[in-house]
């Protein structure tokens, strides 16, 4: 191996001595981590942007901030704590459906 450097608990390459930092609790990567196969995470926190292509199943997600989804299928409940803006019609496929307002004493629908 030509230019891999081991300095204490750090692994580097070239002039960068801490590409991978090892600790008893895990490892951290400076820069980009790429994988060509499956990556399994117990949990993850994303502080900038997360791009997911070809996702088939997601057990749960908490999303804060602006989010764009091309399509989404929710098999249970979708909780929205702020404004929900829909750009098209609402189709309700249940034979007996309802729209329910459960908080406060006022509901306004405007056109």
Quick check: 47 and 41 in contact, CB under 8 A?
no
- pLDDT tens for 14-28 read 888 899 999 999 999
Nearest to 61 by CA among 83, 79, 84, 48: 79
Single pTM value for the model:
0.46
- 27 Cβ neighbours under 8 A, 6+ residues apart: 20, 21
Residue 62, pLDDT above cutoff 80: no
Nearest to 61 by CA among 83, 46, 82: 46
């Amino acid at each position: 191996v030509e230019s891999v450097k081991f300095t204490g608990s750090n692994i580097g390459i070239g002039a960068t001595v801490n590409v991978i930092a090892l600790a008893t609790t895990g490892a951290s990567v400076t820069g980009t981590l790429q994988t060509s196969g499956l990556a399994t995470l117990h949990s993850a926190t994303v502080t900038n942007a997360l791009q997911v292509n070809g996702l088939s199943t997601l057990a749960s997600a908490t999303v804060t901030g602006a989010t764009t989804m091309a399509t989404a299928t929710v098999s249970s409940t979708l909780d929205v704590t702020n404004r929900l803006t829909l750009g098209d019609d609402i189709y309700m496929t249940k034979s007996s459906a309802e729209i329910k307002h459960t908080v406060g004493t006022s509901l306004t629908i405007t056109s």
